Structure 1
Amino acid sequence: MTVHAVEFASLLPPLLAIGLAIYSRRVYLSLAAGIWLGWTIAASWNPFAGLARAIDACIAVLGVADNARVLVFTLLIGSLVAVVEANGGVRGFVHWAEGRSWIRGRRSAQLLAWVVGLALFIESNISILVTGSVCRPLFDRFHVSRQKLAYLVDSTCAPVCILVPFNAWGAYVLGLLGGLGVDRPVAVFAEALPLNFYALGALALAALSAGMGLDWGPMGRAERAAAERAPHGAQGGAGPVDATDPVREAGPGVPAAAPSGDRELAAVLGEAGGTGEARVAGGTGDGTAAAAAEPRALDMLLPIGVMVATMPVGMLVTGHGHLIQGSGSTSVLWAVLAGLVAAWIVSLARGRLSADRVGEASLEGAGKLVGMAFILLLALALGQVTRVLGTGQYVAGVVVGRVPPPVLLPLLFAVSGTISFSTGSSWGTFAIMLPVAVPMATGLGAPVAPFLAAVLSGGIFGDHCSPISDTTIIASLASACDHIEHVRTQLPYALTVAGVAMVGFASVGAWLML
Structure 2
Amino acid sequence: MEHSFAQNLKRFFTNSGFIAFFIAVLLSLYVGQTISPTWTTTKVEIDAKEDGDGNFYYIYREKKQLLLPPSDEPILSKENLARLNAEGKEPSKKEEVVTEKDASGKLLYYKVTAKRHWQIWSLLPAFIAIILCWWTREPITALGSGIICGVLLVGDINIFTSALLPNIGSKDAAAILILYLWFLGGLLGIWAKTGASLAFAEYVTHKFVRGPKSAKLVAWFLGVIFFQGGTISAVLVGTTVKPIADKERVSHEELSLIVDSTSSPIAALLAFNAWPGYVQAFIYVSGVSWLATEQDRIAFFFRSIPYSFYAIFAVISTFLISIDKFPSKKLRLARERAKETGELDAPGAEPLSSKELELTEVPENYTPHLVDFMLPLFTILGIAVGSYIYTGTPEILSAFGISLVLAMFLACFRGMKLRDVVEGMASGWKGVVLGSIILLLAICIGNVSKNAGGGAYLVDLLGSGVPYYLLPGILLVICIVISFSTGTSWGTMAVTFPLGMPLSYAVALSNGLANPEFYMMICFATVLNGSIFGDQCSPISDTTILSSMCTGCDLMDHVKSQIPVAVTSVLLALICWTVCVVLYA
Normalised by the length of structure 1, the TM-score is 0.80
Q: Deviations over 1:18-77 (max 9, x none)?
A: 34333443333333333333333333xxxxxx2315533321224543432222112121
The residue number in structure 2 matching 1:77 is 184
- Aligned partner of 1:157 among 253, 263, 284: 263
The corresponding residue for 1:397 is 460
Residues 1:301 and 2:374 aligned together: yes
CA distance in 1 between counterparts of 2:357 and 2:452 reads 46
Q: 1:254 offset after TM fit, Å?
A: 4.3
* 400-409 vs 427-436, greater mean Cα deviation: 400-409
Q: How does 1:173-188 map to 2 (within 5 A)?
A: 173-177=279-283, 183=293, 184-188=296-300
1:11-30 equivalent positions in 2, closer than 5 A: 11-30=123-142
| Cα deviation 1:325-368 (Å, max 9, x = unaligned) | x3x6xx211111011011101211111x3112222322332233
Count of residues paired in the alignment: 457
Does the residue aligned with 1:499 lie in a helix, a strand or coil? Answer: helix
Tell me what 2:365 maps to. 291
Indicate the SS of the match to 1:405: coil
Change (3 A) 1:393 1:205: same
Kept after mapping to 1: 8 A contact 2:125/2:147? yes
CA distance in 2, matches of 1:128, 1:436: 30
Distance 2:449 2:154 in 1: 10
Matched, 1:110 2:216: yes
Structure 2 letter corresponding to 1:344: M
SS for the counterpart of 1:162 is helix
Match of 2:347 among 237, 240, 245: 237
Q: Give, in angstroms, the shift of residue 159 of structure 1.
A: 1.2
| Structure 1: gaps (5+ residues) | 44-49, 239-251, 257-268, 282-288
Partner residue in 1 for 2:403: 339
Q: Where does 1:495-506 land on structure 2 (aligned, <5 Å)?
A: 495-506=567-578
Cα distance in 2, alignment partners of residues 104 and 364 from structure 1: 35
Distance (whole Å) between structure 2 residues aligned to residue 31 and residue 144 of structure 1: 38
Q: Partner residue of 1:379?
A: 442
- Which amino acid in the other structure matches residue 109 of structure 1? A
- Give 1:2 shift: 7.0
Is the partner of 1:122 in helix, strand or coil?
coil
1:56 to 135, 139, 162: 162
Name the TM-score, length of structure 2 as normaliser: 0.71
Letter of the structure 1 residue corresponding to residue 333 of structure 2? R
Deviations 1:157-210 (A, max 9, x none): 221123233323443323444699763121121122122222111101111222
Name the CA shift for 1:138/1:361 in 2 (closer, same or farther; >3 Å): closer
Q: In the alignment, what sits opposite 2:561? A: 489
Contact 1:179/1:384 (CA < 8 Å) preserved in 2? Answer: no
The structural deviation recorded for 1:497 is 1.1
1:122-141 equivalences in 2 (<5 Å): 122-141=228-247
Residue number in structure 2 paired with 1:276: 359
- The answer to whether the Cα contact below 8 Å between 1:176 and 1:379 also exists between their aligned partners in 2 is no
CA RMSD in angstroms comes to: 2.8
> In structure 2, which of residues 128, 153, 160 is the aligned counterpart of residue 41 of structure 1?
153
1:454-492 CA-to-partner distances (Å, cap 9, x unmatched) read 122112111211222222222223223333222222221
CA separation of 1:83 and 1:297: change in aligned 2, threshold 3 A: same
Matches of 2:158 and 2:185 in 1, distance apart?
32
**Matching residue of 1:207:** 319
Return the match for 1:168 from 269, 274, 281: 274
The 1:53/1:302 distance shift into structure 2, 3 A limit, reads same
Q: 1:7 to 1:380 in 2, by over 3 A?
A: same
Greater per-residue strand proportion: 2
1:389-448 per-position Cα deviation (integer Å, ceiling 9, x unaligned):
443233123113433333221122122122222222222222222222223233334434
Equivalent residue in structure 1 for 2:579, among 502, 507, 510: 507
Q: Decide whether aligned partners of structure 1 residues 226 and 162 sit closer, same or farther in structure 2, where only a CA change above 3 A counts.
A: same
Q: Is the 8 A contact 1:237 1:482 kept in 2?
A: no
Deviation larger for 303-312 or 360-369: 360-369
The residue that corresponds to 1:242 in the other structure is none
1:463 corresponds to 2:570: no
Q: State how far apart, in whole Å, the 1-side matches of 2:406 and 2:125 are.
A: 44
Give the C-alpha shift of residue 137 in structure 1.
4.7
